[in-house]
Structure 1
Amino acid sequence: MRALDPFLTSLQTNHIVIEISNDGTAPISGVDIVATNTATAISSTTTSVTNIEKVVILDTNWDIGHINPGSAKYLEADVYIPESLKGETLRVPMELTYFNAHGDRHTISRIVDFYIKGLIDAKIYDVRVIDLSGKPTVIGEIINEGNEVALFGFVTLEPMGDSNIIPSTHFIDEIDTDSPVPFNVQLEFDGETKYGEHDIRITVRYKDSLRDEKFIIHDATIFINDPSKSQKSDPDPSQLIILPIVAGIGIFAYLQIKKRKQKATQTS
């Protein structure tokens, strides 16, 4: 009895498949398998041999039936793993009952082990273009909503459709779970800069705690402004401040001159 995939992920429901093989030379029948009661296991021993009481298994009994010699059958179940079991080994005790070719009933016990890894749930958000040092730059954020750090992260930007953006890759290191990880990719073009809309693909590549490589793909449409059209002859803000002051001085001078003329007329 063995698990086809011995790795489970915490904070989510996992679909498990366990293989039951008959390595003997005679068939067995009436095969019935039960995930044994954890409370019984704990009460019969001073130290628990399993931590199955910490997970939720939707099915605990399987009617397997007949297994020919040299062949195997499979049982399936859905198991929810809480965050607290990250990095631990889940031990699932199984009690297998069957009848041999002579009709004798047998019961054997087995333990199926699973390793529980953390969850990396990374997503790409808020992709847009800004002007950085006079060059269009794609920025965005990566948020890891899981409970494990993603390792050796890289961000790759690729053009799609008729975009003439040159592909580029940048190292971003770890993608932690505490806060968003920002990224920025300065754009270079194959030939002349093409202004307007560009379809792009952003791929985040990282490794989990088992050093398995994972990918996140995010397609987006960005818009690159033409600086020659966006530069308008807007008034200088300093001029907006100076002009009222100059106008005020002019009005004050005019009133003073007018006042002096009125006094001169009265004295004459």
Structure 2
Amino acid sequence: MSSLLTDAMPLEPSWWEIALRIALTVVAGGLIGLDRERGGHSAGFRTTILVALAACLAMIQANLLLSVYGKTPGFFSQMDVLRFPLGVLTGVGFIGGGALLRRGDMMTGVTTAATLWFMTVVGLCFGGGQIVTGTVATVVAFIVLKPMKHLDTWLRCERKATLVVYGSSSDIPDLSDVLGPLECSALLVSLGPTEDGRIGATFELRWLAKDPDASARAILTAVCEAHEIAHFSMHSTTN
């Protein structure tokens, strides 16, 4: 096992070894990409394969150039073959930045960008002949993206929302009695005129819940019984 992890980059790899590296990269990229494609994400099946394959080919190119690596007395410079994979990692950073999208308080594409970056590293592992490392990394990534995603259904996560309640300049609505039983805290952000000209108090709400929609409905129902609501919006992060 140790030889597979440490002596996996021969100076002159055979065509069969190169073909195996490329094939495993395509399989790994396809496995992760198919899961992302089924989830309707921007970087899906083909994109994930291409990113991993580009990293793999860059590492293979660096591997092939290792045999000519060195510095003779007649040369004034030395070629660094590892610039190829490092350049790919930098380029994928720009692609990942393009996958991120911010709409107000909602950020989308975070997991997609991280997946592209991770698959680049997997492609570098396979391209360098580190088959065991690349395979284990692919399995771990699939577990994180697929089975562990179901943890979201039972984990109590912090939820945030903005709530605007009608009031007056001399009477700030007190939400502690209403939100206390729901374990929701309310922080007064501002007090001023709303879009319709009336005075409204803006609160930032925070609470822990498994289901954000059900908990938000419970909060709205409780507040509506005691106050008149002008606006309510959830703060969420979508991957």
**TM-score above 0.5, yes or no:** no
Higher normalized helix content (fraction of residues) = 2
Q: Which has the larger radius of gyration?
A: 1
More strand by share: 1
Higher relative contact order (CA 8 A, sep 6+): 2
What is the TM-score normalised by the length of structure 2? Answer: 0.30
